[in-house]
């Protein structure tokens, strides 16, 4: 098995893990965003929300594939 085959296998395993745990990952994204927002004194709420939305979109995209 070549290096690229190992990489593809690892990527497939990671995708499967995301698909199986999409709800938990989404909850974790929300909790992390809330914690970061609190720790920064809500000074960067808009930017934190954008990053959290992008992370949710990525999880959704992997879950649909």
Contact between residue 11 and residue 58 where contact means Cβ atoms under 8 Å apart: no
According to the model, what pLDDT value does residue 49 have? 98
Question: What pLDDT, on a 0 to 100 scale, did the predictor assign at position 25?
Answer: 97
Question: Is residue 17 pLDDT above 90, yes or no?
Answer: yes
Whole-number Å distance between alpha carbons of 56 and 36: 16
Say if residues 15 and 61 touch (Cβ distance below 8 Å).
no
Cα torsion through 10, 13, 17, 19, rounded to 10: 120
Report yes or no: 33 and 48 within 8 Å, Cβ to Cβ. yes
pLDDT band of residue 63 (cuts 50, 70, 90) is: confident
What average pLDDT score do residues 29-48 get? 98
């Amino acid at each position: 098995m070549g290096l690229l085959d190992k990489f593809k296998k690892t990527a497939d395993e990671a995708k499967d893990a995301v698909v199986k745990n999409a709800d938990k990952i989404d909850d974790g994204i929300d909790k992390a965003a809330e914690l970061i927002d609190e720790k920064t004194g809500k000074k960067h709420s808009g930017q934190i929300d954008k990053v959290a939305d992008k992370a949710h979109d990525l999880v959704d995209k992997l879950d649909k594939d």
